[in-house]
Amino acid sequence: MTAALGDAGNPGRGGYGLAMRAADLVYEARETLAELFAISDPLRICFTSGATEALNLAIKGMLRPGDHAVCSATEHNAVWRPLKKLETQGVSLSLAQSGSDGIVPPQAVAEALRPETRLIVLTHASNVNGALNDIAAVGKMARTRGIPFLVDAAQTAGCVAIDVEAMEIDLLAFPGHKGLLGPMGVGGLYVRRGIVLETLIEGGTGSESENCMMPDFLPDRFESGTPNLPGIAGLRAGAAHVLGLGVGTLAQREHALSAHLVGGLEALDRVRVYGPAATGARVGVVSFTIEGGDGEDVAAALMREFSVACRAGLHCAPLAHLSQGTGKCGTIRFSLGWNTTEGDIDTAIEAVAALAMKGIRHGR
């Protein structure tokens, strides 16, 4: 179904045509995402405002005072801050350290477990250095021990193949606006059947309205209030486009482009690249520093002099920077997308080479 201007009904809030069309569209979005992530029941996908809300829902919905949680030392603040908040309420935490390439060895996660561990949270790929973690190995270990496993797929949904069954993922948080090519302000959480979460938000669902408590069935339990229909329609279209292109094809392309970028930057004097080697397990997020160059100045010069866009700083993931020794000033980061070209990569490498050679002028 293609969303049209007239599709302004409120899904689940009426039996008239517009509302029914809206409900169909929302269900088709769930079906498309379910196909993408090999989820057998589309109703186990709950829409949220993005990965942050999905992660908060999973983490706060699962953990109670006295519980222990394990996450990696490379997590984004969307994982780290909710966990630190819960720590003030009696949840204890352990960090699994990453190796020098930024990858978190499954063994490090296993060693951090305790008898009272109630949740393992791991990013699929670091948003700082692109390191891609072995989710299937951690999933297998978590399932064997009966510990729920939450994966932050912010950097991989739509860019790397994800199969929640094969990878033994219990909870999968994803944003709409990155690899899934949807709009900002939408994302979702997959909750495996049998995983019970407390609600984060309560309200009207258009179902069981006589019940003063939230329904216990999904997705209604976690979808109170009028949904973001334009966002969900956009996400459905983006995810369908990704399915059409093929995640495997997109992943291969992104890997080849990032290998080209990493290799090109690594060959430059005074430039240091972080994360896995060019051909290692990585996604298209590439972080580097230039000796003696302030990150913000480098970023400004890249845009001003070469029209190359990047981001400098801590990228909302201070833990990952502490782990790789860039905790004070952070890094400069390039992010590749489905429409990035070889030519774009060459332009970026030449721009960094020029800046590294002549030094960076302060000021933007």
Q: Which residue lies nearer to ligand PLP by CB, 52 or 206?
A: 52
Q: Which of 280, 302, 318 lies closest to 353, judged by CA?
A: 302
Phi and psi based region of residue 120 (left: phi greater than 0; alpha: psi -120 to 50; beta: remaining): beta
Q: What's the min distance (Å) between Cβ of 198 and ligand PLP?
A: 20
Q: Which of 293, 263, 291 lies closest to 275, judged by CA?
A: 263
Q: What's the min distance (Å) between Cβ of 76 and ligand PLP?
A: 4
Q: What's the min distance (Å) between Cβ of 157 and ligand PLP?
A: 10
Query: What one-letter code names the amino acid at 6?
Result: G
Q: Which residue lies nearer to ligand PLP by CB, 123 or 355?
A: 123
Q: What's the min distance (Å) between Cβ of 224 and ligand PLP?
A: 19
Cβ atoms of 299 and 290 within 8 Å: the answer is: no
Q: What's the min distance (Å) between Cβ of 268 and ligand PLP?
A: 26
Using CA atoms, how far apart are residues 245 and 158, in angstroms rounded to an integer? 10
Among 44, 76, 282, 321, binds ligand PLP (CB under 6 A): 76
Q: What's the min distance (Å) between Cβ of 276 and ligand PLP?
A: 16
How far are the Cα atoms of 280, 293, 294, 312, 348 from residue 309, in angstroms, in the given order? Answer: 24, 17, 16, 10, 9
Q: Looking at 88-96, 147-155, 220-228, 355-363, which segment touches ligand PLP (CB under 6 A)? A: 147-155
247-266 vs 342-358: helix crossing angle, rounded to 10: 20
Among 32, 52, 258, 287, binds ligand PLP (CB under 6 A): 52
Any residues with CB less than 8 A from the CB of 276 and at least 6 apart, and which?
101, 102, 103, 129, 130, 131, 132, 282
316 is catalytic: yes
Residue 123 near ligand PLP by CB under 6 A: yes
Binding mask 174-213 for ligand PLP (x = CB under 6 A): -x-----------x--------------------------
Residue 154 near ligand PLP by CB under 6 A: yes
Cβ atoms of 10 and 204 within 8 Å: the answer is: no
**Pure H helices in 112-228:** 135-145
Residue 129 near ligand PLP by CB under 6 A: no
Q: Which residue lies nearer to ligand PLP by CB, 186 or 355?
A: 186
Q: Compute how many residues bind ligand PLP; rule: CB under 6 A.
A: 12
Q: Which residue lies nearer to ligand PLP by CB, 174 or 288?
A: 174
Residue 50 near ligand PLP by CB under 6 A: yes
Q: At 150, give phi and psi (nearest 5°).
A: -105, 125
Residue 155 near ligand PLP by CB under 6 A: yes
Residue 78 near ligand PLP by CB under 6 A: yes
Which pair of structure tokens corresponds to residue 17? Answer: 């045509």
Residue 56 near ligand PLP by CB under 6 A: no
Residue 152 near ligand PLP by CB under 6 A: yes
Which of the residues 46, 71, 159, 316 is marked catalytic?
316
User: Is the preceding peptide bond at 219 cis, omega within 30 degrees of 0?
Assistant: yes
**Pure H helices in the chain:** 17-37, 51-62, 77-87, 106-111, 135-145, 229-245, 247-266, 295-306, 318-324, 342-358
Binding residues vs ligand PLP (CB under 6 A): 50-52, 76, 78, 123, 127, 152, 154-155, 175, 187
Residues acting as catalytic residues:
316
